[in-house]
Amino acid sequence: MNGYRRDKIADAVLALLLLTLHNECCAWKGFDSATTDRLHKKGLIGDPVNKSKSLILTDEGLRRACRKVFC
């Protein structure tokens, strides 16, 4: 899969994370680990590798997700 498609998939997952938010910045982490790893490397979510069932969107992740969903 080329980088462009991976970026589009990551943007779609980020938008879906926004739709599952709870506690203002937490989202359920039921998505592909390769995609969440890419989002983490870009600084859009906290480290997805932990025992928690949710992950944390960073401030930049929340801003970018809002732009993808609401614009």
Residues belonging to the chain: 71
CATH of domain 3-70: 1.10.10
**Per-residue tokens: 57:** 């969107």
Residue 62 CB partners (closer than 8 Å, separation 6+)? 18, 25
Q: Where are the domains of the chain?
A: 3-70
- C-beta separation of 57 from 42 below 8 A: no
- This prediction has a pTM of 0.87
Nearest to 58, CA basis, from 1, 14, 19: 14
Model pLDDT for residues 1-55, shown as the tens digit of each residue:
678 898 899 999 999 999 999 998 899 988 989 999 999 999 999 999 988 889 9
Nearest to 26, CA basis, from 2, 5, 50: 50
